[in-house]
Chain A
Amino acid sequence: MVISAINIGKSYLEGTGSRLIVLEDLSIDVEGGKVIAITGESGVGKSTLLHILGLLDTVDSGRIIFNGEDVSSLNDSQLSRIRNSDFGFIFQFHYLLPEFDALENVALPALLAGMSRPEAESRAKELLSAVGVAERAGHFPNALSGGEQQRVALARALINNPRLVLADEPTGNLDPKNEDKLIDLLFGLTREFGMAVVLATHNMAIARRADQSYLLREKHLEEVIC
């Protein structure tokens, strides 16, 4: 098991002072190498769940177990290290650093992990070829198309050989052709490297390609058998 959420609850304090309960008594196990899709209407809490699984946000109740350990006992630098080495993220809005070119963006997590620059860059090059944007390596994000940016983000998510890739509507801004291309790459590469994936998506066709598919509805997950 890579990560498990056990009976977690999450709410947000709204501007009016009342609490908006988003997740309640929700449990999920993410097994190594498995692809999990999460669908659900807009605003049900898919992103919230992915943030919690990515250790970017904390829960109000319940536990998150990573590597057999309750993450609530970890401090910020331990959590950062886990995000750096065990997780890869791709989000809808291609979060690339604007002041770095594609190659440097991909190399960044490896550099943070302490890899030497030449080594990190050569690994970044390999991954950029794997996602098909090798010839764009020296371009800055604003000179890349949306599809190219997401592929760069995918390469970055994979560079430290994470155990889990968290993808939050990674194709939300892409046309169908680029969407297929990115999903093929995501599924293909993570399967090749044996990484688990948790993917939030609106696209049922994509969800059906996952090993397991869940529908998030009314604060709970329902497994979808297809």
Chain B
Amino acid sequence: MRALFFAIGQAFSSFWRRSFVTFLSIITITIAMVILGAFLLISLNLRGAIGSLKRQVQLEFFLKDGTTKADASSLIEAIKGERGVESVEFVTAERAKIEFIDEFGEELLEGLKRNPFPPSIRVELAKDLTMGEAVDSLAAKFKDDKLVEELSAPNRIAHSLAKASRISLILTGLWGLVLLIAATTIITNTVKLAISQRGDSIRVMQLVGASRNFVRLPFLLEGLIHGLISGSLAWAVLWGLSEAAGYVLPSIIPIPLPWNISIVLLGGAFGAIGSIIALRRYLNY
């Protein structure tokens, strides 16, 4: 217990002694983590947008006038057998008309003698399938069927959003990797500086019989505090950013709490890894 207090005291005192270097490195790591968080925020929101688009997206094959469910049954069965197809529904011309009236009112159809809506087959796609593939293969396969008059292509925006989200996730991952290396290196270097500045004190601790772990603890704590402060700052900045973005785009999805906590912990992890590397390399006795 006493050892722990001593170690914490040492960690803080050496923190203040090199306050400028410490400050710079904390700021650098914070900025890097904020960038990571921003990527995360973007990926998250892209995915959210795709999710809501996906719900609206169906593939709809419009059939020739007068086609009955019985006529289309073999086509329906064939579509059902396709990969990525969740459900298939035959929509009669009558139903299409009712749906239209429900949505837009009767006025638009006034004066029309006959029902302008063709019967159709609506295909619901499984959500976990990537948009593009499933749509393209289904469309290609059935659009030339003799019963099919026209194909309503699904929202192409969803397709490109899916692509953007994938790219943004990859970028997040890559940046995360860069961050891991950069933050760890920065912390390793500040702890290395701490070790070299405290060379004599380390010697003293060894002389008076402090164990190796006891001597290491303050440095480990210093790196850890370092990382945790950076992580907390990054979290605060990101919170501010997503609040501010919320004013502009009210529908923005904020970073969920567990992820926020992870950002702080991630900072702590960088700190711990950085100091362990520094201790293994530079505290040689």
Interface residues of A (CB under 8 A from B): 54, 56, 76-77, 80-85, 87, 89, 91, 93, 95-99, 108-109, 111-113, 156
Contacts and interface: CB of A to CB of B under 8 A. Distances in A.
Given A93-B200, A97-B201, A83 B212 contact: no
Contact of B209 (A81, A91, A93, A98): A81
B157 interface: no
B153 interface: no
Contacts of A97: 201, 204
Nearest to A85: B209
Nearest to A108: B208
Interface of B: 2-3, 10, 13, 200-201, 203-204, 206-214, 285
Given A93-B200, A111-B2, A99 B208 contact: no
Given A56-B285, A76-B211, A112-B3, 10 more contacts: A54-B207, A76-B213, A77-B212, A83-B208, A84-B210, A96-B204, A97-B201, A109-B208, A109-B209, A112-B208
A95 B203 contact: yes
A107 B281 CA distance: 31
Contact of B200 (A76, A85, A95): A95
Given A96-B204, A97-B201, A76 B212 contact: yes
Contacts of A89: 207-208
Contacts of A96: 204
Contacts of B3: 112
Q: Which 7 interchain pairs have the tightest Cβ spacing?
A: A84-B209, A80-B211, A83-B209, A109-B208, A89-B207, A95-B204, A77-B211
B195 to A, nearest CB: 15
A93 B199 CA distance: 13
A76 B208 CA distance: 14
A150 to B, nearest CB: 14
A91 B206 CA distance: 13
A112 B209 contact: yes
B268 to A, nearest CB: 25
Nearest to B215: A80
Contacts of A76: 211-213
B199 to A, nearest CB: 10
B13 A95 contact: no
Nearest to A81: B209
Nearest to B14: A99
B216 to A, nearest CB: 11
A80 B209 contact: yes
Nearest to B206: A56
Nearest to B13: A99
Contacts of A99: 10, 13
A112 B206 contact: no
A56 B208 CA distance: 11
Contacts of A111: 2
9 contacts: A54-B207, A56-B207, A76-B212, A80-B211, A81-B209, A85-B209, A89-B208, A91-B207, A112-B210
A99 B10 CA distance: 9
Contacts of B285: 56
Contact of B208 (A82, A84, A98): A84
Contacts of B10: 99
Contacts of B2: 111
B207 to A, nearest CB: 4
A53 B209 CA distance: 14
B212 A80 contact: yes
Contact of A98 (B201, B206, B213): B201
B274 to A, nearest CB: 23
A69 to B, nearest CB: 17
A122 to B, nearest CB: 17
Contacts of A85: 209
Contacts of B211: 76-77, 80-81
Nearest to B9: A99
